[in-house]
Amino acid sequence: MNTYSLSESIQIISALGVIASMLYLAIQIKQSTTSARSNTQQQLTERIHNRLLLVATNSELAGLISSDWETTKFTDIQKTQISYWLSAIITDIKGIHTQYKLGLVSKSTLQGRITVIKHGVFKTDIAVMVWENIKGESEPEFIQWFEKHIINS
């Protein structure tokens, strides 16, 4: 008959305790990751919703955004408004790019955000000027990514 000493029994109980702790931590990490992804997605949705609502309720901004930026002669105030609008878009994409690198958003979320702008607005002189003015605030990796996927695409 095999009998365990008190020391061996304590070691077995300790090993089971460690395994149980590791399982508990794995569950907690998974729940935390799910929560972080959910919060990130909610924030992204709110940001785009607010921008869309702003354009929908502000006819002056809607008119400015829908203008032909290559041929329209804008006032200095309008140029400032456009510059701030473009800066907000770049900031949004930069945030989503960072969240993608951290695994908080999917590649399709990132691609969806850039699809709308990559062939249009960022091909204009004013957009290129805005990018040149603010790109120095970004990490080199984001600058290369943005220029490859937006500016030079």
Q: What is the DSSP string of 46-115?
A: HHHHHHHHHHHH-HHHHHHHHS-TTT----HHHHHHHHHHHHHHHHHHHHHHHHHHTTSS-HHHHHHHHH
Residue 4 pLDDT more than 80?
A: no
Does 25 reside within a domain?
no
Does 12 reside within a domain?
no
Does 28 reside within a domain?
no
The total number of structural domains that make up the chain: 1
**Do 130 and 147 contact (CB within 8 A), yes or no?**
no
- Domain of 52? 39-151
Does 19 reside within a domain?
no
Maximum CA extent, the chain: 96
Does 60 reside within a domain?
yes
Does 9 reside within a domain?
no
Computed over every residue of the chain, the mean pLDDT equals 86
For 120-141, write each residue's pLDDT tens digit. Answer: 778 788 888 999 999 998 999 9
CA geometry: angle 96, 102, 108, nearest 5 deg: 50
Does 94 reside within a domain?
yes
pTM, to two decimals? 0.71
Does 32 reside within a domain?
no
Q: According to the model, what pLDDT value does residue 2 have?
A: 58
Residue 117 pLDDT more than 80?
A: no
